[in-house]
Structure 1
Amino acid sequence: MDKYEVVGTLGEGSFGRVYKAKQVSNGSFVALKVISKRGRSTKELKGFRRECEIQRDLHHPNIIQMLDSFETENEIVVITEFAPRELTAILSKEGYLSEEKVQQIVWDLISALYYLHSNRVLHRDLKPQNILLDLKSRAKLCDFGFARNMSTGTHVLTSIKGTPLYMAPELIDELPYDYNADLWSLGCITYELLMGTPPFCTSSILHLIRMIKHEQIQWPTFLSPECTSFLKGLLQKNPAKRLAWEQILNHPFVKGHILITKTTGPMPLTAALTASTQEVKEQQRKDSINNKHLKGAVSRTISTDNDHTKQNIKSGKTSNETKKSSGNQNNSKCSNPQESRETHQSLEDKRKSKIISSKEEENLSKCLKERLNFIEDSHPIEPDEWVVFLQRSIQEVMNGEITSLTQPNLTNIIVSPLKNSNSNSKVLCFVAKLLSIAFVIKDISTEQIEQIKKVYLEVKLVPNLIYATKLLLRITKSGHSTSSSNSHSNSSQDNSVKLHSYKTADVLEVEDLQALESIFTLVCYLVHMQDEFLIQFCDAVLILNVFGLINLFLCLVRRKPRITIDVLSILTQTIRRLPENTEIVEKILLNSLSSNNEIDFGDLLRNSNPILRERSCYFILLMGKYFQASTLEKFWSIEIQDTLEALMFDSMQNVRNAAEAAVNELKHKDFYIKSSTSF
């Protein structure tokens, strides 16, 4: 850092800060991007390093040049050339640009894209915010956080990246895509520069998706025929009909103005495919689509099998009897649609009997993780934009437009912030509210509710809600593995380890509590609606290892009693409907994150909220019925017993009934009798 003198701040985001700095040696200006390692997962840091690796090898006049990068104990620092103007700032000031100015910018962007695609690099997040202009008004691409190097044997990608306003239709449809997706984004940018808005623009992300898929683009009439032809060639919804690179280079709107450098990698994406390569690409596309359909079929089969399990339980069959009825199915493979309840129960049973090997536990955990699809997304998001999108979507649902909740691909978009470590509590709160609101609207039919439930199960809503609480409260500390004491500052190898802890109840902010309340209100409703949601809850707690975190939520009674009420209700439902999972509830009660946050059933029973008093009584009743005596005795005291007996005379009838039922269940237990005679 001694080589640079910071002279100002250029920008700030969830990734860190960008500064304008001066090189001490020659006085030239550079941009200095500082990314804090604190609170970052290993995956996030790996993504930042990958971005550096990609940008380090890019050398083109229309791409921001990376000059240096290094790491300190707490930061990753990237130094790039400095470009003084942002395209978005110019667009905000001018509103729109003349065709002549736009044409010059397009020449630069085409030159940059041709270079990237010639070297098999996809940008995947082209938007005005990622375009800078230097002192000569030359456009330069920046921000390669979503960029991807395609190996020579890879012809299509499937992971969805980018910004919705500029996202190609094939990505919206979750279909395999290639470099054509970048060309669509370029068409959207060109349209916006000319018109002042993107071709599809709305404050609702779900409405935007429907527009991209189904609505026609309104073409301006004041443009030259060459410009209109170029725009229409890029903005073809069918990627196969978009302009190919050979057509682009020879198009009259850009011909003769593209800067083509000699640095080209093997098998450039800009070259026409041979017949054999085209066949390979088409096969990869079909395989990707088939895999997607297969996953959907497996998910539906799992749901069917869970229905079968539910029927067996209602008919009195035990878990072992259910397993016997499954015939010769191979239980060891993750792809086999066995009951989720049985899978994690076998893990718990083996742990209990101490016969499980570490390899078995790893395989079983991996099976459930793959099924529940816990994939953390660490890319920056725009919280304010998301809040606007979600508010608009809530209004649409209230007006009876529920398509966003009945189609898995649309619901997946709503759920995506739950998996993003950069989502804030306000975004999570609105996600939970949007996904809850359908259950309180009168005009929604039973058939529509059933479809929504089916979609929520398919997108693993409950596990993702629990995952969101973990990400929201997680505190990550950097440590160092003992495998190596030395590492090169620019090495991609990560010798650091991440030690996770959680925020304590006293430091949670008001917005955190509001988000948790919205999340657990929805989870509580769902697990009481259908056992499959309850099974997914148990799976999530087990695989995410959030026993202590759920314990913390039970201790929020003085800050946000509603959270405690709902979590207590969820755990009560778990014991009542899935008694084979009682051990999971026991672990939650016994895994306190802090001595300052321990469950006090006396406080719960004496609370001023009658619903909490009632639910505490029923929970204690089921503890006495299903818990091991040694576990219950750890929480029992004469004070709790006296309070429970006093509630038999509570002013609220429901509380009196619950207390009486609990006392009748517990009074025959040895520990209850002991405490009664200990005076």
Structure 2
Amino acid sequence: MDKYEVIGTLGEGSFGRVYKAKQVSDSSLVALKVISKRGRSSKELKGFRRECEIQRDLHHPNIIQMLDSFETENEIVVITEFAHKELTAVLGKEGYLSEERVQPIVWDLVSALCYLHSNRVLHRDLKPQNILLDIKNRAKLCDFGFARNMSTGTHVLTSIKGTPLYMAPELIDEQPYDYNADLWSLGCIIYELLMGTPPFCTASILHLIRLIRHEQIQWPTFLSDNCTSFLKGLLQKNPTKRMTWDEILCHPFVKGHVTLSKNTTSMPLTRPLSANTLQLKEQQRKDSIKSKHNKAASSKSNECNEYAPEQKKSSASKNSKTSSQHSNNSTKRSNSQDIKNNNVEEHLQNLSLENKNKGFSSWETNKLDYSEQKKSGERKNLNKNETYKDSKANIDHVKQNCSEKETGEKSKMNKCFIEKLNFIEDNQPIETDEWIVFLQRTIQEVINGEMGTLIQPSQTNIIVSPLRNSNANSKVLTFVARLLSIPFVIKGTTEDTLTQIKKVYLDVKLVPNLVYASKLLLREYREHTPSEASSPGNSPLPSTAESYRGISELCTEDFQALEYMFLLISHLVHLDDHFMMQFCDAVVVLTSYVLMKLMLLLSKRRLRIVLDVMAILTHLLRQCPENGEIIEKILLKESNNPDVKQINFVDLLRHSNSILRERSSYFLLFIGKCLPESTMRVFWSDVLRDTLEALMYDSIETVRNAAEVAVSELKSKDYYIVVK
């Protein structure tokens, strides 16, 4: 670093900072890109080094030249030539450029791209932000973080890279692609330079995908025929119909102005393929598609096999359930009531109707008064708990349910967790304002009954993606959970549509991603992590300890995001047992025991979260008591976090909120039946027993019913009477 003198900062991103500097030896200007190693995984660092390797070998007047690079203990430093302007700054100031000004820029970009493809390098992230202008106004490509050097025998790629506004249709459809994808992006940039916006431009990512797939490009009438012809040749949705490099170089819009380099590989991408090579390319394309389909089919097959035992148990118990109709009806009513008790539909319906009445703009500014909604929810819930009036029926239900589970085949939920859930954290920067605008508009679409965006796994995956992004803030997470909740509460949604949405939510593993997001939101950042770590220093994966921020460090928006996420998890878990199984998988894979325990300890800060988490765990024990070990670990898990204490059931049973008193009674009932007595003795006491029995005389009928069921079932246990 002694060879350079830093003058100022040019920019900053998630990778680090870019500085303007000058060389001490000759005072020439350079750019220093400083990448911090701290908190980076070995995979990320490998990517940065690969970017340096690719750029080091590129020598062309229209590509930013890398001059040097070196590493220190904590940083990777890349020195490149300095460019005086950014193309986006020019566009931002002028809006659009005349054809006469655009044409020389096109010559430069075509020259740079021809050089890259001649050396079998795909840029894969062409956009105005990655184009700089030097002091002579020559355009230069930069940022090769997504670049890929294709080996001689490789003809198609499959990994999706790039920016949606400039992404080729074949990438949108997740099809194999080649250098033609760069040509589409080049066409989008030229179109934007001339028109002020890309050919397809919208704040909604899902709307953008639909436009790229189905809409025709609007061609301007004021351009020359040569310019329009050139654009149409690049912006062909079918990649096989786009101009080839021979056609591009001979096109009158650029002919004679492309700077060609003699430094090319033996098999450049700009050369037409032979018949044998074309055949090989097509075979690679088919193999890629076949491999993708096989993986998808294998995943579905594994899920079907895993769920088969539950289906068999259901079938095997069908006859016995028919012979005991009264008990069966009681069970159905009880399961239905658990969903209603969760208060999901009322809470979300209030949300959607209130905002629908106020107008779309209220989604951004409306701050829900949860205390008022909570009180309203309590009053409504008091009228909806009729199924627990008959304590005897509920005791029968509990006995029947647990008996069936104990005699049935053991669930496979505790096996192969890592194989089923592959969490990959996204550390890319996220534009919060843009995401919120997109989510707001999509919310309005869904409220208006346009559910098409949520019945496609690829599109729903885009909505879910912020849940895996460590840079997504609480507000974005709240909007994601709101959006995904709406189909379950608005009127007019058909059963067929709900079935499709439920399947998509299972396919994209929404529940595990919500658990993942909550852990990302609460995790405690560590400043020093070895570079060879298998996951980022901030990663919530099980390779790291469960370490969370203190409750006092969380802001109102953090709590609100947690409320919405666990509210949605609770509804899905009660909606279908497959969601419950995915929840169990996520808790185990992510070692989220302390996280769940922390959620149960928020009764004085955020009652809504406690109610939903308790509903989830109670339902888990009711449906799959063989997975009680998960609940046991949650209850007994210790942590260095001073906020994580032993759960005080006495305080929960004495809480002023009647719904919490009721749910705590049922939670005690099921942990008492499903967990080892040694575990129960850890927190059981005569005070707890007396408090539970006192609730049999509570002023609220549903609380009395819950306490009566719990006392009736637990009094036969040894720990119930024998208290130290």
Q: CA separation in 2, counterparts of 1:192 and 1:481?
A: 40
Residues 126 and 186 of structure 2 are in contact (CA less than 8 Å); yes or no, is this contact kept in structure 1?
yes
Q: CA separation in 1, counterparts of 2:706 and 2:447?
A: 37
More divergent stretch after superposition (404-413 vs 49-58): 49-58
Residues 131 and 142 of structure 2 are in contact (CA less than 8 Å); yes or no, is this contact kept in structure 1?
yes
Question: CA, structure 1 residues 545+56, in 2 after alignment: closer, same or farther (shift >3 Å)?
Answer: farther
Q: Tell me which residue corresponds to 1:324.
A: none
Q: CA separation in 2, counterparts of 1:660 and 1:214?
A: 61
Q: Tell me which residue corresponds to 2:191.
A: 191
Q: Tell me which residue corresponds to 2:352.
A: none
- Residue ranges of structure 1 left out of the alignment (5+ in a row): 318-339, 348-363, 484-496
Displacement, 1:564? 2.0
Residues 421 and 586 of structure 2 are in contact (CA less than 8 Å); yes or no, is this contact kept in structure 1?
yes
Q: Tell me which residue corresponds to 2:595.
A: 549
Q: Tell me which residue corresponds to 1:361.
A: none
Q: CA RMSD in A?
A: 2.4
Match of residue 612, structure 2, among 542, 545, 566: 566
Displacement, 1:271? 1.7
Displacement, 1:87? 0.8
Are residue 617 (structure 1) and residue 665 (structure 2) matched?
yes
Displacement, 1:498? 7.4
Q: Tell me which residue corresponds to 2:130.
A: 130
Match of residue 437, structure 2, among 380, 383, 388: 388
Q: CA separation in 1, counterparts of 2:122 and 2:161?
A: 11
Q: CA separation in 2, counterparts of 1:231 and 1:202?
A: 20
Are residue 645 (structure 1) and residue 678 (structure 2) matched?
no
Q: CA separation in 2, counterparts of 1:411 and 1:151?
A: 34
Q: Tell me which residue corresponds to 1:3.
A: 3
Query: Residues 214-613 of structure 1 correspond to what in structure 2 (within 5 A)?
Result: 214-305=214-305, 308-315=308-315, 342-345=411-414, 347=415, 364=416, 368-474=417-523, 475-480=525-530, 501-596=547-642, 597-598=644-645, 599-613=647-661
More divergent stretch after superposition (411-420 vs 296-305): 296-305
Q: Which amino acid aligns with 2:314?
A: K
Are residue 53 (structure 1) and residue 53 (structure 2) matched?
yes
Q: Percent identity?
A: 68
Residues 21 and 29 of structure 1 are in contact (CA less than 8 Å); yes or no, is this contact kept in structure 2?
yes
Residues 210-253 of structure 1: CA deviation (Å, up to 9, x unaligned): 01100100000111111001100000000000111111111111
More divergent stretch after superposition (382-391 vs 277-286): 382-391
Question: CA, structure 1 residues 246+430, in 2 after alignment: closer, same or farther (shift >3 Å)?
Answer: same
Residues 39 and 531 of structure 2 are in contact (CA less than 8 Å); yes or no, is this contact kept in structure 1?
no
- Residue ranges of structure 2 left out of the alignment (5+ in a row): 318-408, 534-542
Q: Tell me which residue corresponds to 1:494.
A: none
Question: CA, structure 1 residues 469+267, in 2 after alignment: closer, same or farther (shift >3 Å)?
Answer: farther
Q: Which amino acid aligns with 1:106?
A: V
Are residue 674 (structure 1) and residue 722 (structure 2) matched?
yes
Q: CA separation in 2, counterparts of 1:511 and 1:40?
A: 27
Residues 476 and 501 of structure 1 are in contact (CA less than 8 Å); yes or no, is this contact kept in structure 2?
no
Q: Tell me which residue corresponds to 2:371.
A: none
Q: Tell me which residue corresponds to 1:71.
A: 71
Residues 40 and 476 of structure 1 are in contact (CA less than 8 Å); yes or no, is this contact kept in structure 2?
no
Q: CA separation in 2, counterparts of 1:515 and 1:450?
A: 26
Query: Residues 29-40 of structure 1 correspond to what in structure 2 (within 5 A)?
Result: 29-40=29-40
Displacement, 1:90? 0.6
More divergent stretch after superposition (121-130 vs 415-424): 415-424
Q: Which amino acid aligns with 2:8?
A: G
Q: Which amino acid aligns with 1:622?
A: F
Q: CA separation in 1, counterparts of 2:204 and 2:10?
A: 29
Query: Residues 621-632 of structure 1 correspond to what in structure 2 (within 5 A)?
Result: 621-632=669-680
Q: CA separation in 2, counterparts of 1:460 and 1:40?
A: 26
Q: Tell me which residue corresponds to 1:351.
A: none
SS in 2 for 1:478: coil
Q: CA separation in 2, counterparts of 1:202 and 1:79?
A: 36
Question: CA, structure 1 residues 250+498, in 2 after alignment: closer, same or farther (shift >3 Å)?
Answer: farther
Q: Tell me which residue corresponds to 1:178.
A: 178
Q: CA separation in 1, counterparts of 2:601 and 2:423?
A: 26
SS in 2 for 1:67: strand
Question: CA, structure 1 residues 590+500, in 2 after alignment: closer, same or farther (shift >3 Å)?
Answer: closer
Q: CA separation in 2, counterparts of 1:373 and 1:229?
A: 46
Q: Which amino acid aligns with 2:510?
A: L
Question: CA, structure 1 residues 78+512, in 2 after alignment: closer, same or farther (shift >3 Å)?
Answer: farther
Q: CA separation in 2, counterparts of 1:499 and 1:252?
A: 62
Q: Tell me which residue corresponds to 2:365.
A: none
SS in 2 for 1:502: coil
More divergent stretch after superposition (57-66 vs 210-219): 57-66
Residues 38 and 531 of structure 2 are in contact (CA less than 8 Å); yes or no, is this contact kept in structure 1?
no
Question: CA, structure 1 residues 141+11, in 2 after alignment: closer, same or farther (shift >3 Å)?
Answer: same
Question: CA, structure 1 residues 564+249, in 2 after alignment: closer, same or farther (shift >3 Å)?
Answer: same
Q: CA separation in 1, counterparts of 2:86 and 2:410?
A: 54
Displacement, 1:306? 5.1
Q: CA separation in 2, counterparts of 1:206 and 1:36?
A: 34
Displacement, 1:605? 2.5
Q: CA separation in 1, counterparts of 2:587 and 2:668?
A: 21
Question: CA, structure 1 residues 34+639, in 2 after alignment: closer, same or farther (shift >3 Å)?
Answer: farther
More divergent stretch after superposition (430-439 vs 548-557): 548-557
Q: Which has the bigger relative contact order, CA under 8 A and spacing at least 6?
A: 2
Q: Tell me which residue corresponds to 2:333.
A: none
Question: CA, structure 1 residues 573+45, in 2 after alignment: closer, same or farther (shift >3 Å)?
Answer: farther
Displacement, 1:88? 0.9
Q: Which amino acid aligns with 1:626?
A: C
SS in 2 for 1:391: helix
Residues 426 and 470 of structure 2 are in contact (CA less than 8 Å); yes or no, is this contact kept in structure 1?
yes
Residues 548 and 641 of structure 2 are in contact (CA less than 8 Å); yes or no, is this contact kept in structure 1?
no
Q: Tell me the TM-score normalised to structure 1 length.
A: 0.87
Question: CA, structure 1 residues 229+369, in 2 after alignment: closer, same or farther (shift >3 Å)?
Answer: farther
Residues 42 and 531 of structure 2 are in contact (CA less than 8 Å); yes or no, is this contact kept in structure 1?
no
Question: CA, structure 1 residues 432+504, in 2 after alignment: closer, same or farther (shift >3 Å)?
Answer: same
Q: Which amino acid aligns with 2:480?
A: V
Q: CA separation in 2, counterparts of 1:267 and 1:289?
A: 25
Q: Tell me which residue corresponds to 1:107.
A: 107
Query: Residues 87-166 of structure 1 correspond to what in structure 2 (within 5 A)?
Result: 87-166=87-166
Residues 107 and 258 of structure 1 are in contact (CA less than 8 Å); yes or no, is this contact kept in structure 2?
yes
Question: CA, structure 1 residues 481+30, in 2 after alignment: closer, same or farther (shift >3 Å)?
Answer: closer
Q: CA separation in 2, counterparts of 1:499 and 1:446?
A: 42
SS in 1 for 2:202: coil
SS in 2 for 1:294: helix
Q: CA separation in 2, counterparts of 1:431 and 1:212?
A: 23
Are residue 659 (structure 1) and residue 684 (structure 2) matched?
no
Q: CA separation in 1, counterparts of 2:117 and 2:711?
A: 73
Residues 69 and 76 of structure 1 are in contact (CA less than 8 Å); yes or no, is this contact kept in structure 2?
yes
Q: Tell me which residue corresponds to 2:377.
A: none
Residues 653 and 692 of structure 2 are in contact (CA less than 8 Å); yes or no, is this contact kept in structure 1?
yes
Q: CA separation in 2, counterparts of 1:509 and 1:40?
A: 27
Residues 21 and 30 of structure 1 are in contact (CA less than 8 Å); yes or no, is this contact kept in structure 2?
yes
Question: CA, structure 1 residues 383+118, in 2 after alignment: closer, same or farther (shift >3 Å)?
Answer: farther
Q: Which amino acid aligns with 2:452?
A: T
Residues 478 and 499 of structure 1 are in contact (CA less than 8 Å); yes or no, is this contact kept in structure 2?
no
